[in-house]
């Protein structure tokens, strides 16, 4: 998974994680947003929820990281996203474990 994953912050805490995951998938699939094929989207809850999005190709993750800004529109509200490289690349098993440890 090296180089294919981005961390996305600035997510709305008041919305269900599955709805946020759907909206993130739509946003990051669009070529106009620099996106491409997605392998996995994990929304991790808590007071400051974030998502780990893994793309099929590392070039897509690099394009996403280079984009000036990403804004997620949900229900008429705009959420500016903070897209960064994750501090450490996580395997799917590590993501699943961390998801169980974080409060929803």
Radius of gyration from C-alpha coordinates of the chain = 13
User: Are 25 and 41 within 8 A, CB to CB?
Assistant: yes
Query: What are the pLDDT digits (tens) for 11-27?
Result: 999 999 999 999 999 99
Residue 92 has pLDDT above 60, yes or no: no
Count CB neighbours of 71 within 10 A. 11
CA distance 23 to 72: 7
CA distance 37 to 31: 10
More confident residue, 96 or 7: 7
User: What rounded mean pLDDT belongs to the chain?
Assistant: 86
Which domains are delineated in the chain?
5-84 (3.30.70.330)
């Amino acid at each position: 998974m090296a180089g294919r994953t981005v961390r996305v912050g600035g997510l709305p805490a008041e919305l269900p994680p599955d709805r946020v995951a759907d909206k993130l998938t739509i946003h990051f699939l669009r070529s106009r947003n620099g996106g491409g094929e997605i392998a996995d989207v994990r929304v991790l809850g808590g007071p400051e929820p974030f998502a780990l999005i893994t793309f099929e190709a590392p070039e897509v993750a690099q394009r996403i990281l280079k984009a000036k800004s990403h804004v997620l529109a949900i229900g008429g509200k705009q959420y500016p996203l903070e897209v960064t490289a994750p501090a450490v690349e996580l395997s799917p098993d590590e993501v699943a474990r961390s998801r169980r440890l974080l409060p929803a």
